[in-house]
Amino acid sequence: MTRIIVDTGPLVAYFNRRDRWHSWVTQQMAALNPPLVTCEPVLAEACFLIQRGGGKPADLVRKVAQRNLEIGIEIDEEASGLESLMKRYEDTPMSLADACLVRLTERIPDCRLFTLDSDFEHYRRNGRQVIPLLHPG
């Protein structure tokens, strides 16, 4: 079964009806089988942006409690690999959240990354492999 790894953008769009991607993200979410995999930096970014947009970040955290979202990476165990990715993509620059998501795609070979971020078209997993994406376009 293909696992879905989720980035910040879709989470924010899902909880914000005014977001330009809300309808598309909602349609995609309805077709996906939970749990979706993510990381704590994505949750932190999404909670901040949801709150800034007038939403309730606790609604997102509830999705973790309900096991619709799962944390798929421990930063302390992956710090060396994350550092390597962030150095490799210094020109972008790569955030910790993005590094965690790329690392997740390396650890879960049968996956798709659900994102609105075009940087993932540039990033590569395992050095040179294109990351399979679920994104508008």
Q: Which structural domain, as residue segments, surrounds residue 126?
A: 3-134
**Could you tell me where the beta strands, DSSP code E, fall in 9-126?**
36-38, 69-71, 111-114, 124-125
Helix (H, G, I), strand (E, B) or coil at 91: coil
Domain count, the chain: 1
For 68-94, write each residue's pLDDT tens digit: 999 999 999 999 999 999 999 999 889
Residue 1: pLDDT band by 50, 70, 90 thresholds?
confident
Mean pLDDT (the chain) is 97
Residue partners of 46: CB distance under 8 A and separation at least 6: 8, 11, 12, 57, 60
The confidence score (pLDDT) of residue 93 equals 87
Residue with tokens 């679920």: 134
What does the pLDDT average to over 131-137? Answer: 94
The confidence score (pLDDT) of residue 56 equals 97
pTM score, whole prediction:
0.96
The confidence score (pLDDT) of residue 58 equals 98
Packing angle of the helix pair 8-15, 40-52 (nearest 10 deg): 30
Phi-psi region of 40 (alpha: psi -120 to 50; beta: other; left: phi over 0): alpha
CB 86 within 8 A of CB 94: yes
CATH number at residue 43: 3.40.50.1010
Cβ count within 10 A of residue 119: 15
The answer to whether the Cα torsion of 72, 76, 81, 83 is positive or negative is positive
Residue 113: pLDDT band by 50, 70, 90 thresholds?
very high
Q: How far apart are CA 33 and CA 27, in angstroms?
A: 13
